[in-house]
Structure 1
Amino acid sequence: MLGVGAAAAIVRPRFSVATERPSAKTAPTGSVVVRLSANENPYGPSSQAHAAMNNSFDVCCRYPDEANDILIEKIAKERNFEIVRGDLYRTDPRQTDRRRSNIRSDS
């Protein structure tokens, strides 16, 4: 009886017939499909875009939302939550694990 490794060596997986994709640096031709709905860019980012991305690493993990603070304050007031570093927590003194109480209410 063959082992799993020997059987895998005999059976050629489907992805082994894949062809190499064209480089992102080459201009698209009529035969290359660029899916614009997926925000794909056949040219890749420009040098200015690379510089902008590199210069924004310290803030790129945040989503800007001007109305976010107003919404958090309204929810905190209505549900009697405490705002801690921008996150909502129940103001129940019996609650010991704040991570588990995040934006939860018994009502």
Structure 2
Amino acid sequence: MPTTTIDGHTIEVDDEGFLLDPHEWTESLATCLAAQIGIDLTDEHWKAIRFLRDDFAEQGETATLRRVSVVGGIPTKSLFQLFPQKPAKKLAYVAGLPKPHGCV
């Protein structure tokens, strides 16, 4: 398995750079991951990230963009503004979770 060093920690990642163990995630690591893809985290970003992580803990899989919008109460348009171009993939990446099913 590939490894990478982020924020001074060596972590295992998949071929696309997604964390293999969501328990290795920290808020500090999220800030570094976001910076790598050109995102400066705001309170609105954190709302989406925390929803995604909490939902993952309950459901056992990464929520789709639709679920984040409907259940998490964050409009899809806002998610595209917060995580441009590929919001589901970028949100999952920053949250330290696997890509949602069906995400390319």
TM-score normalised over the length of structure 2? 0.22
Q: Radius of gyration: which is bigger?
A: 1
Q: TM-score, normalised by structure 1?
A: 0.22
Select the structure that is richer in helix: 2
